Homo-oligomer: A and B are copies of this chain.
Amino acid sequence: MKFGSYFLEEITPYESMLRRMDEILAKRTTKFQELTLFRSEGFGKVLILDKDAQSTERDEHVYHDTLVHPALLAHPEPTSVFIVGGGEGATLREVLKHPSVERAVMVDIDDELIDIAKELLPEWHQGAFEDPRSDVYAEDARAWLEQHDEQFDVILVDLTDPVGEDSPARFLFTVEWYSLLKKRLKPGGFVAMQAGMLLLTHHREHPVIHRTVREVFEHVRTYRTYIPGYFLQFGFILASDHTDPLTIDTATYQTRLDERRLKLRYLNAPLITAQFALPNDLIEAIEAETMVSTDAEPFWLDEEGNPHQKPLG
């Protein structure tokens, strides 16, 4: 390990990563978070929000392909999409690749982050904010959805985890929140969301989210991918009242990819199907989970990643 500049990130409470920074491109503070952007030999531009790597230039397509395309390909003809969070613009960019999409509403609470993204992160948004189909609001997404009764074919939830007993994100992981999302879905609609890291499958973050979503939606399926820039595997959820994602076969995904002329850097039809295959220990952890997060008792994570529903003490 050579002398020089590094970013220290606590990957877990017991393992920390020192990431070499070839050049620090920006350091900004918004009302909500602190942003550090640096250039890394291995990952290109690396975006840090507060204490964690959020996205890197060379592998952001792995995350964004996985968040966006399974849901949009599960839907036979998505015309309207709602995005919760997603401030740097890459989720929006991927959504707009589907030719049937006529309207994409994105609501991220951090207006300054959106402005910074427009200026410093062109590799992520690639002009998506300027697309005439895009409608971007800097507001609290839950408030926006409560105040607008518009419905969407697909809702994508791109949030950070509710770490800490005072995390405001806690109220975006509850039965009431998922019920609101359900009301804002058109018939036949799908919700997809980032749903927690799967470091060791006995960790309960993902199982609690899965269990909570299951209170609201008929069909709830976990899928997963490894995110190189995080050095971690993450769980995602695809939920619907209409169609069990597991009944969509590889051929259907393939047909839709072909019809929509989508050339993805990471995902293809067999891999989408494969992402839904889970290991035994994760299946057992999901089945064993009993915690349901509600507005009255919203769950949050301590530093070790353990879920709680009440203040610690």
Q: Which residues of A contact B (CB under 8 A)?
A: 1-21, 23-24, 27, 36, 40-43, 50-52, 58-59, 62, 199-200, 226, 228, 231-233, 264-268, 270-271, 273-281, 283
Contact = CB atoms under 8 A, between A and B. Distances in A.
Say whether chain A's binding surface is mostly helix, strand, loop, or mixed. mixed
A264 B282 CA distance: 12
Q: Nearest 8 A-B pairs (CB), nearest first?
A: A274-B277, A274-B274, A231-B231, A3-B51, A1-B1, A14-B20, A226-B226, A270-B277
B11 A17 contact: yes
Contacts of A283: 268
Contact of A273 (B14, B23, B274): B274
Nearest to A250: B277
Given A14-B20, A18-B18, A58-B200, A273 B281 contact: no
Contact of A7 (B4, B13, B23): B4
A1 B8 contact: yes
A46 to B, nearest CB: 10
A1 B228 CA distance: 22
Most buried by B among A11, A199, A276: A199
B36 A14 contact: no
